[in-house]
């Protein structure tokens, strides 16, 4: 599928070469990053669309609101599933 959410991944090996995100200084705070993405991705999308227009970027329910279950799936892909799929694809 051509869904961009299937190709983005956030990750760090926390080796110090690249500074980690402020809210996720080490792997023990990864859950904090997940909760922040769930909270702020819809806000960021709303701001982006107000400034630039265009279609919705996050999955929507039939009523037009951000679909919470689908958003959780998107965040799960960003934080783990897409990275795992990339490594699996290139190691096989």
Question: What are 58-75's pLDDT values in tens digits?
Answer: 999 999 999 999 999 999
Whole-angstrom distance, CA of residue 11 vs CA of residue 92:
21
- 47, exposed or middle or buried, with CB in 10 Å at 0-12, 13-18, 19+? exposed
Q: What is the mean pLDDT of residues 3-8?
A: 88
Mean pLDDT rounded to a whole number for the chain: 85
Whole-angstrom distance, CA of residue 89 vs CA of residue 85:
6
Whole-angstrom distance, CA of residue 91 vs CA of residue 69:
30
Whole-angstrom distance, CA of residue 53 vs CA of residue 43:
14
């Amino acid at each position: 599928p051509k869904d961009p959410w299937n190709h983005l991944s956030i990750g760090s090996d926390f080796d110090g070469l690249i500074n980690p995100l402020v809210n996720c200084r080490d792997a023990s705070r990864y859950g904090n990053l997940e909760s922040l993405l769930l909270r702020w991705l819809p806000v960021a999308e709303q701001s982006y669309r107000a400034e630039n227009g265009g279609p919705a970027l996050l999955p929507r329910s039939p009523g037009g609101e951000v679909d919470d279950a689908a958003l959780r799936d998107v965040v799960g892909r960003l934080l783990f599933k897409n990275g795992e799929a990339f490594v699996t694809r290139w190691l096989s």
